[in-house]
Amino acid sequence: MIGRLRGMLLEKKAPHLLLDVSGVGYEIDAPMSTFYNLPEPGNEIILHTHLVVREDSHTLFGFFSESERSMFRSLIKISGVGAKLALTILSGISVDGFITCVEHHDAATLIRLPGVGKKTAERLIIEMKDRIKTLEGASSTDTGRIHPVSGGKVNSVEDAVSALIALGYKPQDASRMVRGIDHDPDLPSQEIIRLALQGAVKHD
């Protein structure tokens, strides 16, 4: 099992990134909660990782913090919640926010995440009730070590729409979410995605 990687960030296009570790390029999928903290390519980062092995693929997932990875591992143990949906959940709601939903039996907020229906939301609340004890008190930025730098983005709106589609939103919904944001044209794509996801979760 690959549990941790330290290397140079070569490429990032949510939810995918490429990490060079001693000359070996690792393709990694990461939630938006991790992408929000990524520096520009060319900088060194450290990620907590989890390898999912299937008959037809080996997929490596990377996380900024240990609490994110712990939540991911707990989510994929639940029937009907695969790695992709777990990544989408982590992209749309923070670890602390998810814990709050479970503790308050707030299925309505979870249902607003793509791929989470009423039955899945109820299952998440019931089965995660005991497991969240290992996540409580952990910040979504508790142990990750990333050296962020500022930098301009090219086609940030287009990148944001593509990322939302990759996270499970329908193309028309992704476009609508991004268009509904009153943002600066120079705003980085990850910030546009963050605002779009926040709006989706809060929308009644």
Whether residue 71 sits in one domain with residue 54: no
* Tokens coding 72: 């991911």
- 148 occurs within a structural domain: no
CA 100 to chain centroid: 18
Q: Is 23 exposed, middle or buried (0-12, 13-18, 19+ CB in 10 A)?
A: exposed
- Show which of 14, 32, 64 is a domain's final residue: 64
- 111 occurs within a structural domain: yes
- 146 occurs within a structural domain: no
The C-alpha angle with vertex 96 and arms to 146 and 53, in degrees rounded to 5, equals 65
For residues 72 and 31, give the distance between their C-alpha atoms in angstroms, rounded to a whole number.
10
Q: Which residue has the higher pLDDT, 105 or 199?
A: 105
**Residue 47 sits in a domain of what CATH number?**
2.40.50.140
- 141 occurs within a structural domain: no
Q: How crowded is residue 132: how many other Cβ atoms within 10 Å of its Cβ?
A: 19
Whether residue 55 sits in one domain with residue 84: no
pLDDT at 139: 45
pLDDT at 112: 85
- 145 occurs within a structural domain: no
**Residue 121 sits in a domain of what CATH number?**
1.10.150.20
**What is the domain range of residue 175?**
156-202
- Show which of 78, 103, 134 is a domain's final residue: 134
Whether residue 74 sits in one domain with residue 60: no
- 142 occurs within a structural domain: no
**Is pLDDT above 70 for 150?**
no
What's the pTM? 0.72
pLDDT single digits (tens) 190-202: 778 878 877 766 5
pLDDT single digits (tens) 39-69: 899 999 999 999 998 888 899 999 999 999 9
- 117 occurs within a structural domain: yes
**Residue 181 sits in a domain of what CATH number?**
1.10.8.10
For the chain, the domain total comes to 3
Identity of the residue numbered 36: Y
Residue 148: closest CA among 96, 98, 190: 190
pLDDT at 50: 95
Whether residue 128 sits in one domain with residue 72: yes
C-beta separation of 134 from 163 below 8 A = no
